[in-house]
Structure 1
Amino acid sequence: MIVSVVGALIRDPGGRLLLVRKRGTERFMLPGGKREPGEDDRAALARELAEELGVRVTAAELVGRFEAPAANERGATVRSHAYAVQVEGRVQARAEIEELLWIDPAAPPDVPIAPLLARRILPAITVGR
């Protein structure tokens, strides 16, 4: 089974990357989620980030398409379109988000991180850094 999602790479002024942990799960991942019927990537990002973080997307640029074993759906593969996203508003945990974590993407802390993020996205965005 393929789970198709959009993910937001949101950085603070110091270059740290925002990760979220959803209620009832153990692994941190990018904010974002599944598209609703008829939504394109940017519309899904705008909706998900408003719901999960209470922010408004002001810019989104595709960084890449990534695939790895899903963190929360046993036996599934997650396929993500990851975007570098600029937002307005104060980031706060809302809806199903239990915890926020800002990390240095080149030196992530020793916390459980989703395979897609750990194996595919972090290596891709820290190359040549």
Structure 2
Amino acid sequence: MPVIHIAAALLHDGAGHLLLVRKQGTAAFMQPGGKIEPGETPCAALLRELDEELGLQASAEACRFLKRIEAPAANEPGHTVRAELFALRWTGAIKVAAEIAEARWVTPDDAVSLSLAPLTRDCVLPLWPCLS
């Protein structure tokens, strides 16, 4: 099964909310982030994607690597997503841009009522209690 290697953020506000995004033309909410370009570190890829998609300009020092996680891709049938997952606390403004259609700050309880990408549902949300 082909693997899509990405960097993703468990982006939280420190007050019990995490940010989930939904790409244009899709139904599933997921972590912000995106594909790692050749020669790019996972952290650099994450910072680039957060800036492009949400207008969020964080520092590398603010990103804390959590772990590598894997699940079936939500939007690419027959593919696996392998994510380098970082925790990032953010209380500043965000601006939906690029391919993002919607961004929502949700509690983990609210999140389970949404259509979620397998990576978010099965790998990210179970980590949430460790951070809050």
TM-score by shorter chain over 0.5: yes
Aligned to 1:108: 111
Alignment gaps of 5+ in structure 1: none
Letter in 2 for 1:123: P
Q: Is the 8 A contact 1:54 1:89 kept in 2?
A: no
Q: Deviations over 1:63-122 (max 9, x none)?
A: 111111100000111111110124474111111110011111255241100001101111
SS of the counterpart of 2:58? strand
Alignment gaps of 5+ in structure 2: none
Name the CA distance, whole Å, in 2 between partners of 1:2 and 1:13. Answer: 32
Moved more, 4-13 or 63-72: 4-13
SS of the counterpart of 1:21? strand
Letter in 2 for 1:113: L
After TM superposition, the structure 1 = structure 2 runs for residues 39-118 of structure 1, keeping only pairs within 5 Å, are 39-58=40-59, 59-87=62-90, 89-118=92-121
* Identical pairs, percent: 45
Question: As a proportion of its length, which structure holds more helix?
Answer: 2
After TM superposition, the structure 1 = structure 2 runs for residues 10-25 of structure 1, keeping only pairs within 5 Å, are 10-25=11-26
Name the CA distance, whole Å, in 2 between partners of 1:43 and 1:12. Answer: 21
Letter in 1 for 2:121: A
SS of the counterpart of 1:10? strand
Which one of 104, 123, 127 corresponds to residue 124 of structure 1?
A: 127
Name the CA distance, whole Å, in 2 between partners of 1:43 and 1:100. Answer: 21
Paired residue total: 129
RMSD of the alignment, in Å?
1.9
Q: Is the 8 A contact 1:57 1:88 kept in 2?
A: no
Name the CA distance, whole Å, in 1 between partners of 2:81 and 2:103. Answer: 21
